[in-house]
A and B are shown apart, each in its own frame.
Chain A
Amino acid sequence: MSAEFGSGAAAIIIFIGFSIAAPAFASREGIGNFLDPAATLGIMAVAVALLMIGGEFDLSSGVLIGSTGLVTALVTTQLNTNVWFGMLISLAFALVVGLLNGILVHRTKLPSFIITLATYFMLWGLNYAVTTGVTDQVTVSGIADYNGYDSAKAVFGSSAGGFQVSLIWWIVLTVIGIVLLTRTTAGNWIAAVGGNAAGALAMGVPVARVRIGLFMGTAFAAWLVGQLTVIRYASATVTTGIGQEFNFIIAAVIGGCLLTGGAGSVLGASIGALIFGMVQQGMPLAGLPSELFKFFLGAILLLAVLINLYLKKRAQGGKA
């Protein structure tokens, strides 16, 4: 609750600040514009927040966005299929990656940081090798010419009045995430596994299923963002998504997720993504040097962590 309050207040202050600095920021166009990158980031942040509450990380989530886009584009163009079929194969691929991440983390008891770091590099290598091997290029384009593209575009790549369809996906996923975490048994399990996995197991929580499910959740989100990208731009590139995984973690942490697991908020993560998007787009609008973006991002992250720390200490102090 308090984490959402803190990040929510920060979001409002940032919105007002940029609106004063650049009136176009608060216009319909301006709002649609910062919601656009916030939406794809937010979709990932929701899944990553759930995973972090469950006590794990997924460093392969960024590069998997690129992989799923490439799978869709390659299957469609190389096998000459309907775009939807390509997306379906891509979904299967993503879920298998999530499943493997989950099983490996659960079985080996190794930190998920290491397991998914390995997955990250393997996917990166595969993205490059398979794409160049099959097409001699690093960008797969031309899927707009295949059957099913128009309907896929309506679902994943359309926009209305400056607002992208990805916004709807983000809102839907945020709501699902909130309900899952706060209103279901599975939500209790996630927090329990993240807080104390051994204790949760003793209490009869299906730890393996929870962990694997969470990794499949980030993989699904990566697939969704991959499709939102590949369908919208009608092309997929091997560099897409690489390095973005830290942005997802940053959004989740700004929104109140602890790096130690056990606590955090889905709504907070989405607000974190919103803040990220507002700062990223507000800076060029206000004429601030874009080179400073990362500095502000770091400063906001630091501030969020400090506020979380303060709130946590105060909560513990209250109990004692």
Chain B
Amino acid sequence: MKSWTFRVIGVAAAGVLLAGCGTGGKAATTSEAASAGGAGAIRDLNYAVVIHGNPDGSFWNVVKRGAEDAATQFRVNVEITGDVEGANQAKLIDAALAKKPTGLVVSMANPDALKASLENATSQGIPFVTINSGAEVSAEFGAIGHVGQTETVAGEGAGTELKNAGATKLICVIHEAGNIGLEQRCKGAAETFGGTVENLQVDLANPQGIQSTVKSKLLGDKSIDGVLSLNPDVAVAALAGVKDAGSSAKVGTFDINADVLKSIEAGDILFAVDQQQYLQGYLPIAMLVLYHDNLNTVGGGLPVLTGPAFITKDNVATVSDLVSKGTR
């Protein structure tokens, strides 16, 4: 009898030990897999992120990184797709919904195009968070929260900066026709700028074209003394156009890349509006996981703002490293 009891206790103890070892080992492997990039999901929670862009712009790549990092840390699955066209984005949402995800993250540059798809999400009981654009209609559409920079507020910030730098006549360079967010930035800038603001349409895929068009505009109207770019790659080409035209116009931009950072260091670009888009990838995943586990919501119907933060000559050194890591 006694020996039998001991044996049971022994086996149990060994079991506990083994279990202990097992957990330790398992934790180690998952964190290894996790650091290798999102493959370490141990919870069967699947989140779809559908953005209004190819996930290959300077900008969206950082959003993607944020979402992937959140997926790794919360050990869930995240799948990211996107298309610049509203109707195509809606189709991608429908495709994502067909897989019955735990939650959905959607950027809303063109809310009307996505309305039906998001109603589908609601009727299927799939919670969603909107990011980037679309703060105005997010709650109305039934999102549990919105994470983004209100484009108008960010534009207002940029307008103020340019005004304070002494500019009086501004061109706002739009690189993607039909993107409401870009229009709102220009409108916001016009609110606070005080002087004249004119929009200038260019093509993101053609740097020579951007440079020449900015130069043409500056040659055509010598009184223009401010240029607001809405994309870092556009900023580089636009700056070249400003220099070519022999203009002393102040240049500001939205978002950053290595070249913009260098130009800020050199004093050629006044500022970059940083909307910290890493947060727009990261926070919604965190919010959706918290909602799943604990029914938490953030913002109470008001957007959670990720910007505008400004990168200027004063703080450029501190963010450079993070930019090269792809998280800023």
Please measure, in the bound complex, the distance between the C-alpha atom of A136 and the C-alpha atom of B327, giving whole angstroms.
Answer: 9
Chain B residues whose CB sits within 8 angstroms of the CB of A293 once the complex forms: 201
Q: Chain B residues with Cβ under 8 A from A277's Cβ?
A: 212
* A24 with B219, Cβ < 8 A, contacts A136-B326, A233-B240 known: yes
B208 near A235: Cβ-Cβ < 8 Å: no
Instruction: State whether B257 touches A139 (Cβ < 8 A).
Output: yes
B213 adjacent to A233 (CB under 8 Å): no
In the complex where A142-B258, A281-B212 touch, is A137 in contact with B326 (Cβ < 8 A)? Answer: yes
Main secondary structure of the interface of B (DSSP, over half): helix
Residues of B168-221 at the interface with A, using a CB-CB cut-off of 8 Å, are: 177, 199-209, 211-213, 215-217, 219-221
Q: Does B324 contact A (CB under 8 A)?
A: yes
> Are the CB atoms of B257 and A243 closer together than 8 Å?
no
Chain B residues whose C-beta falls within 8 Å of the C-beta of A241 in the assembled complex: 205-206
**How many chain A residues have a CB neighbour from B under 8 Å?**
52
A90 located at the interface, meaning its Cβ lies under 8 Å from any Cβ of chain B in the complex:
no
Point out the residues of chain A lying under 8 angstroms from B233, CB to CB: 139, 237, 239
Please tell me if the beta carbons of B207 and A33 are within 8 angstroms of each other in the complex: no
Chain A residues with CB below 8 A from B325, complex form: 136
Chain A residues within 8 Å of B213, by CB: 280-281, 284, 290
Chain A residue with the shortest CB-CB distance to B204 = A239
Q: Is A4 an interface residue (CB 8 A)?
A: no
The answer to the question of B79 belonging to the interface, with a C-beta cut-off of 8 Å to chain A, is: no
Query: Contact between B326 and A30 (Cβ–Cβ < 8 Å)?
Result: no
Chain A binder among B19-27, B53-61, B146-154, B313-321: B53-61
A22 within 8 A of partner (CB): yes
Question: In the complex, what distance in Å separates the CA atom of A93 from the CA atom of B206?
Answer: 21
Q: A36-B212, A291-B177 are in contact. Are A139 and B220 (CB under 8 A)?
A: no
Q: Is the CB of A235 within 8 A of B212?
A: no
Let me know if B216 and A281 touch, CB within 8 A: yes
Give the CA-CA distance A141 to B235 in the complex, in Å. 14
Q: A286 an interface residue at 8 Å Cβ cutoff?
A: yes
Please, which residue of chain B has its CB at the minimum distance from the CB of A238?
A: B56
Min CB–CB distance B56 → chain A (angstroms): 4
A15 CB-CB contact with B under 8 Å = no
Q: How far is the CB of A124 from chain B (nearest CB, A)?
A: 8
Answer yes or no: A62 CB below 8 A from chain B CBs.
yes
Q: Which of A141, A164, A233, A284 contacts B217 (CB 8 A)?
A: A284
CB nearest neighbor in A for B241: A33
Interface presence of A34 (CB below 8 A): yes
Q: Which residue of B lies closest to A27 (CB)?
A: B219
Which residues of A are found within 8 Å of B245, using beta-carbon distances?
A: 29
Name B201's contact: one of A34, A132, A166, A291 (CB within 8 Å): A291
- Is A204 among interface residues, defined by CB-CB distance under 8 A? no
CB atoms of B257 and A284 under 8 A apart: no
A26 vs B154: C-alpha distance when bound (angstroms):
39
B219, A139: Cβ atoms closer than 8 Å = no
> Could you tell me which A residues sit within 8 Å of B by CB distance?
22, 24, 27, 29-30, 33-34, 36-37, 39-40, 62, 66, 124, 127-128, 132, 136-139, 141-142, 162, 164, 166, 229, 232-235, 237-244, 277, 280-282, 284-287, 289-291, 293-294
Closest 10 pairs (CB-CB, A-B): A136-B326, A290-B201, A128-B56, A285-B220, A284-B217, A284-B216, A281-B216, A37-B209, A285-B216, A141-B258
Sample of 7 A–B contacts (CB below 8 Å): A128-B56, A132-B56, A139-B58, A233-B207, A284-B200, A284-B220, A290-B213
